[in-house]
Amino acid sequence: MKLNGDTSQFKIVAENLNLHYGDNHALKAVDLAINEREITALIGPSGCGKSTFLRCLNRMNDLIDEVQIQGRVIVDGKNIYDKDVDEVAVRKRVGMVFQQPNPFPKSIFENITYAPLKHKLVKKGTEAESLVESSLKSAGLWSEVKDKLHSPGTSLSGGQQQRLCIARTIAVKPTVILMDEPTSALDPISTGVIEDLMMQLREKFTIVIVTHNMQQAARISDATAYFHLGELVETGTTEDLFANPKEKLTQDYIRGRFG
Amino acid sequence: MSNNPFYDPSLKHRHRSAYMLKLLSRLSILFTLGFLLFFLFDMVRTALPATWQAYVQVEVSYSERAKKFTRTAVPKEYRKVVSRAWLRNIPRQMEEDPGLLGTTQLLWVLADDQVDQYLKGHYHNLKEKEIAFIERLKTENTIKLDWNGVFFNNGDSKIPEYAGIRSAIVGSVLTMLVTMAIAFPIGVMTAVYLEEFAKDNAFTHFIEVNINNLAAIPSILFGLLGLSVFINLFGLPRSTPLVGGMTLALMTLPIIIVSARAALRSVPASIRQAGYGLGLTKLDIVKDHVVPIAMPGILTGSIIGLAQAIGETAPLIIIGMIAFIPDTPQSIVEAATVLPAQVFTWAGMPERAYVEKTAAGIIVILVILISLNATAIYLRKKYETKW
């Protein structure tokens, strides 16, 4: 949603967000509001800044040298770039799932319990065990792995690994889950499973997904934002944006003229 | 030919060049292998006699007189045959076991090195009378070649049949313990800091260049540094495993740092990303994920550094670990020698009997090096992360 006046009803609000990689102006004055418990899709051609924008929402860009960020990103009413905000705490509340499934080379069990134990969300023993079960159930992986919780997470198939990564993210109890092209490394069947999973997760979490696949955006998202060369060109409900895009660039992209 | 659509006249020549290259590569490998095998064969052949040692059966009379004039403990004609070093030990034997006084015992005792060399068919300077005596003992079966326990149980000695490798082995082990205790933690922590925490700026580049240069410095310079800093400035005792280990640690550090950094760099960035995405701190990620994944590589690099340090002689000569040290060191602050220094010392000895001991010492070094490298391979295979 484009900003106009009161923004307090939104889960995430980016205001006049500018980002430079050295001399490269990668995000240009982006204003975007994201609703709670919806799936918001960020689409656009390669290099348009959609992944960069996503990584601003949990301060992952802070890890890159020579990045300068101006503007505000307000999550739950607090600017996460304020001086009194610790970026580690931000990433705990705003979890992230990556393009390549990246489970730790540890057991499935440890993959899930490692971060919650560090954050002291649960204690070792039965608490941790029930967290593993509930997280894997939420990620739709429980029935497939319940008999091999102590085998390495890396021994699973690609789609299962990605669901393990989602389960691992859920286990930290975030309120927002960012997904950076979560299915682009997966086959169509695994992709379908993950899309179904995202539809279920929408009931509990605010999800922001970057995708190259417009059909995917159309299938699963409630709102869509179209980026082009670092600018947010158009945003609206998915239905609206795909049915009658207002901007010429959006039209061309959606109709497949480029991208 | 012309009806073959795949015919290409240039191919024959190209295949032949490939074949020639393959042949040349194989020849060069064969050449290297040949030298290696020749070296190994020659070493083992020279070293093998050192596993046997001449012993002679003789009546030893533990009298009061033998305490003072140890030669009188054995019959006169045996005096050239029995080891002088063994005779020198008689007073100590009697001190340890006072019951021996006044008894006469028929014992197998260590023979002189000349006798030993004669029995092995090597060069010797025995007189004809002595040879005849030994031949008589042979027919009586009171002289024999037996397992040379002395070599593995004794320290160095100026009397060849009494010289052993033990003090050098213990010295090497103590020195390596000091080296690893210093170089491993410092090296790994330096690598972790440079790779994971340090900002990419001119100062880190400066440090990097210096570490790489350090790896290329001739080892004897490290010896000079050890001498001037550890011994002269800090006043640490010379010739000791402590100083030797510290000096070798300086030499091993760059190897450990460079290999540990390579191991850390090979950990996929996605693992770090995964950690950040879960709200973990940098320390959590490095300590519990990155370093464990890199550990097999770090260990391999460290063991290779250790193997290089074990074979190092030059810096240890400078800090005095080449000295004649007959006693096995009991701690890291006692004078000690190390294996390669021992080999170096023996190689310069005039007696023929030291030749086989030199070769045997080299074999001991080789066995230690090979087992270290095997350990490195085993650790890497066992603990490497399967993706």
Please tell me which of the candidates B276, B277, B387 has its beta carbon nearest to residue A105. Answer: B387
> What number of CA atoms fall less than 13 Å from residue A125's CA on the CB side?
1
φ, ψ dihedrals at B33, nearest 5°: -60, -40
Give the CATH number, domain containing residue A205: 3.40.50.300
Say if A33 falls within a structural domain. Answer: yes
Q: How far is B282 from chain A (nearest CA, A)?
A: 9
Q: Does B200 touch chain A (CB under 8 A)?
A: yes
User: Residues A248-259: what's their mean pLDDT?
Assistant: 84
Say if A246 falls within a structural domain. Answer: yes
DSSP A120-162: TSS-TTHHHHHHHHHHHHHTT-HHHHTT-TTSBGGGS-HHHHH
> Directed axis angle between helix B353-383 and helix B11-47, to 10°?
130
- pLDDT at position B209 over 80: yes
Say if A222 falls within a structural domain. Answer: yes
Rounded CA gap, A57 and A73, in Å?
A: 7
Residues 6+ apart with CB under 8 A from A202: A37, A38, A39, A222
Closest residue of A to B289, CA-based? A104
User: Residues A82-106: what's their mean pLDDT?
Assistant: 94
Say if A259 falls within a structural domain. Answer: no
Rounded CA gap, B258 and B252, in Å?
A: 10
- pLDDT tens for A135-175 read 999 999 999 999 999 999 999 999 999 999 999 999 999 99
- pLDDT at position B379 over 90: no
Residue A91 · residue B276 · CB < 8 Å: yes
Say if A34 falls within a structural domain. Answer: yes
The per-residue pLDDT for A1 is 46
- pLDDT tens for B131-158 read 999 999 999 999 999 999 889 988 888 8
Domain of residue A73, residue span: 12-254
User: For residue A128, what are its two tokens?
Assistant: 């941790």
Say if A162 falls within a structural domain. Answer: yes
Say if A6 falls within a structural domain. Answer: no
DSSP B302-334: HHHHHHHHHT--HHHHHTTTTS---SPPSSTTS
Q: Is A99 helix (H, G, I), strand (E, B) or coil?
A: coil
Q: What is the pTM of this model?
A: 0.85
Rounded CA gap, B29 and B344, in Å?
A: 30
Q: Is A30 helix (H, G, I), strand (E, B) or coil?
A: strand
User: For residue A122, what are its two tokens?
Assistant: 């649960």
Q: Could you give all domains of chain B from N- to C-terminal order, each with its CATH number?
A: 52-147 (no CATH), 166-383 (1.10.3720.10)
Please tell me which of the candidates B277, B288, B387 has its beta carbon nearest to residue A91. Answer: B277
Residues 6+ apart with CB under 8 A from B207: B194
| Number of structural domains found in chain A | 1
Say if A128 falls within a structural domain. Answer: yes
- pLDDT tens for B314-355 read 999 999 888 788 888 889 999 999 999 999 999 999 888 899
Inter-chain contact B270–A60, Cβ cutoff 8 Å?
Answer: no
Please tell me which of the candidates B200, B271, B278 has its beta carbon nearest to residue A169. Answer: B278
Residue B337 · residue B167 · CB < 8 Å: yes
Q: What is the ipTM of this complex?
A: 0.91
